[in-house]
Amino acid sequence: MKFKLSEAIEILERTPNMLDVFLTGLSGQWTNGREGEGTWNAKEVVLHLIEGERSNWIPRLQFILIEGDKEAFPAFDRFAHLQNNEVPLEQALLTFKQLRAENIETLKHLISSEDLLEQTGYHPAFGTVKVRELISTWAVHDLTHISQIVRIMAESYRADVGPWVEYLGILKKDQ
């Protein structure tokens, strides 16, 4: 599959609704579980996605479109969301949905031609990156965190599935 902006947007548009349907109304047993020490629960993953909407994807895209690769765009603090963890999950999901809708509109406005997808910027750790790579990463980042939430929830029943653990790939530690 070769990158197409419209296909990346298909994922970006669906993630907030998918998480809302999947997580709203679940007991804390499901949403507060963790895969282990030092890992995030479902709400913390949503808060991380919010932080990305505020200070990662669109700000970096704007920086690349304005500055190019003359200087590195600002680093993203992947753990900033852990400093303000008091917001209820349902409120976090609503905030994520609103921010994502705004950011998709901004994305559509900023990328007015296919040529802009090849514009380069400078990542503080990776060096030269393309707009296309940034947007691809945004979509795959969503999929990564959806997978993470599902793994966290499956982990809650690890001890309860008994011998069937052998057939449940999501509970295999080496996968």
pLDDT band, very low/low/confident/very high, at 175 (cuts 50, 70, 90): very low
Share of the chain above pLDDT 90, in %: 82
Task: Say how many C-beta atoms besides its own lie within 10 A of residue 61's C-beta.
Answer: 23
- pLDDT tens by residue, 104-125: 999 999 999 999 999 999 999 9
Chain CA centroid to CA 90, Å: 17
- pLDDT tens by residue, 65-108: 999 998 988 877 665 566 777 889 999 999 999 999 999 999 99
Q: Is the dihedral of CA 104, 109, 113, 118 positive or negative?
A: negative
Share of the chain above pLDDT 70, in %: 95
d(CA 124, CA 56): 13
User: What does pTM read for this prediction?
Assistant: 0.92
Does 33 have pLDDT greater than 60? yes
- pLDDT tens by residue, 148-170: 999 999 999 999 999 999 999 99
